[in-house]
Chains A and B, each alone.
Chain A
Amino acid sequence: SSELTQDPAVSVALGQTVRITCQGDSLRSYYASWYQQKPGQAPVLVIYGKNNRPSGIPDRFSGSSSGNTASLTITGAQAEDEADYYCNSRDSSGNHLGVVFGGGTKLTVL
């Protein structure tokens, strides 16, 4: 099956911009979607498609993609953005209607 690779941890100063990346072959065929997960809570979808935000997600969250890399950018990070972030996409290997998740990135807001 396909794999998605994320940096384990990233930090950002309060109010600054941070980019979280996700790499994998499946991203050449499909856009990534991004999820925020805070301790003890279920994941929340924050970005899907080319750059779409579900209702209620602040516009400081945005997504982009180039080649085999997808990025989640938080412009003006807030304290409440401290969380784990996961990318996922459709599995582009033989199990073509399966799903693959990245290992997650722990974001610390300083």
Chain B
Amino acid sequence: EVQLVESGGGLVQPGGSLRLSCAASGFTFSSYWMSWVRQAPGKGLEWVANIKQDGSEKYYVDSVKGRFTISRDNAKNSLYLQMNSLRAEDTAVYYCASYRCSGGSCYSDYWGQGTLVTVSS
């Protein structure tokens, strides 16, 4: 059974930092691009970042560039999101998801249950 389990969310003050983790099991983690996707309370889904299988390529939404860093450890089947200089607008549930492209389509077939990040004083 495929599982993605996020952890590390919580309450943090504006300007603070947080590191999210995602533990993967049930599939060959090292063969997949991976993503972080977030959802602010009552809002839609927003892609945050992607990372290639070997970590050599990383892409970010403009609003987090320079503040967030996506990384992975294939030996530990784990994905990470280091979040610095947090702002109130970063408050959201953060999902870890697989990401792959084939046949002219890119999609996320595996999703975690999410971890809530709240940025507030």
CB contact between B44 and one of A52, A89, A104 (< 8 Å): that residue? A104
Our pick among B59, B103, B109 for the contact of A31 (Cβ within 8 Å) is: B103
Distance, CA A55 to CA B112, complexed state (A) = 18
B115 to chain A, nearest CB (A): 11
CA distance A99 to B112 in the complex (A): 18
Known: A97-B50, A98-B50, A99-B35. A48 touches B45 (CB 8 A): no
Q: Is B1 an interface residue (CB 8 A)?
A: no
A-B contact count (CB 8 A): 83
Q: Are B111 and A43 in contact (CB under 8 A)?
A: yes
- Taking CB atoms, residues of chain A closer than 8 Å to B106 are 30, 33, 88-90, 99
Q: Does A95 contact B (CB under 8 A)?
A: yes
Give the residue name and chain of the A residue nearest to B103 (CB): A49
B26 interface hit (Cβ, 8 Å): no
Chain A residue nearest in CB terms to B110: A45
Q: Of residues 54 to 70 in A, which have CB atoms within 8 Å of B's CB atoms?
A: 54
B85-99: CB near A (< 8 Å → 1, else 0) gives 000000000010001
| B44 A103 Cβ-Cβ under 8 A | yes
Set of chain A residues within 8 Å of B109, measured between Cβ atoms: 45, 48, 54
* Number of residues of chain B lying within 8 A (CB) of chain A: 27
> What's the least CB distance linking A22 to chain B, in Å?
12
Instruction: Establish whether residues A1 and B57, one from each chain, have CB atoms under 8 Å apart when the complex forms.
Output: no
* B95 lies within 8 A of A48 (CB): no
B61 near A50: Cβ-Cβ < 8 Å:
no
The answer to whether A88 touches B45, judged by C-beta atoms less than 8 angstroms apart, is yes
Which residue from chain B places its CB closest to the CB of A48 in the assembled complex? Answer: B107
Contact with A along B15-58 (1 / 0, CB 8 A): 00000000000000000000101000000111100100000010
Question: Beyond the given A33-B105, A33-B106, A90-B101, could you list 19 further A-B residue pairs with CB under 8 A, ordered by the A residue number?
Answer: A30-B105, A33-B108, A42-B113, A43-B95, A48-B107, A48-B109, A49-B102, A49-B103, A54-B109, A86-B44, A88-B45, A90-B106, A95-B59, A97-B59, A98-B47, A99-B106, A100-B47, A101-B46, A104-B45
Residues on A close to B: CB < 8 A?
1, 29-33, 35, 37, 41-45, 48-50, 52, 54, 84, 86, 88-90, 95, 97-104
